Amino acid sequence: MTPAGPVTHLLYLHGFRSSPQSNKARQMQSRIARNHPAVHWWCPQLPPSPRAAMAMVMQGTAEWPAGAMAVVGSSLGGFYATCVAQARGCKAVLLNPAVHPARDLAKYIGEQTAWHDPGERFFFDASFVDELRALESGPLAHPEDFFAVIAKGDELLDWREMTGRYAGAKVKLLEGGDHALSDFEAHMDEVLAFLRLA
C-alpha cells in the first residue's frame, strides 16, 4: 500500500496502435501542466514489443520514488500500468484496461498502422503474444491502489472481464461510453483526486 503523500511523478501509457497524441493523454498532460507544473510527466511512445515496452518503462522510472509516483494506462497501456504498479507498489489508474491482451491481440499479428498517423506502420510479431503472456501479473497485491474507469459500451473489451480483474479496487462503471472513453474529460477530476492531484 502506498503512502498518502502527493504524486510528484506521473507516467501515462497509451494503448495498442496509439501514441502520446491520444486525446486522453493530451487532455491529462494539459491539466497537469496547468494545475500541477511541478509534477514530472512522462508519456513515452511505446515500442510494439511488450518486453521492450516494459523494459523501457521500468528503466525510465527506476529512479522515481515509488511512494510518490503513479501510472495511468489506457487499454493495452492499462495492462502495462498494472504490471508497473504491481512491481513498484504505486497507485494506478486504468482506463478500459486490457485484461487478456495475449488472447485478444493474437489476431493482430502482422503489419499494423498507427492510429494517429496511418502513414506510420509497425509489425506486430507472433512472439509478442508470448511476451504479453509472460507479463501477466496475477491477482492485485494492493487493490486499494487501483482505480479503474470502465465503460459498459466498450466495443473492443468486455466490461465484465475488466471489472472481474479489478475486483476489490475502486471501479467507476459507466453505463454507456466507448473504448476510447470519449468523455474522459468528465472523469478527470475523479482520476486526479485518486492520485491526490485534485
Q: What is the pTM of this model?
A: 0.93
Q: How do residues 51-64 score in pLDDT, each as one tens digit?
A: 999 999 999 999 99
DSSP 157: S
DSSP 131: H
Q: Given pLDDT bands bounded at 50, 70 and 90, which one contains residue 116?
A: low
Domain residue ranges of the chain, discontinuous segments joined by +? 9-194
DSSP 12: E
Task: Tell me the fold of 9-194.
Answer: Rossmann fold (3.40.50)
110-113 and 91-95 beta bridge pairing: unpaired
**What's residue 43's pLDDT?**
97
What is the spatial distance between Cα 91 and Cα 188, in angstroms, rounded to a whole number? 16
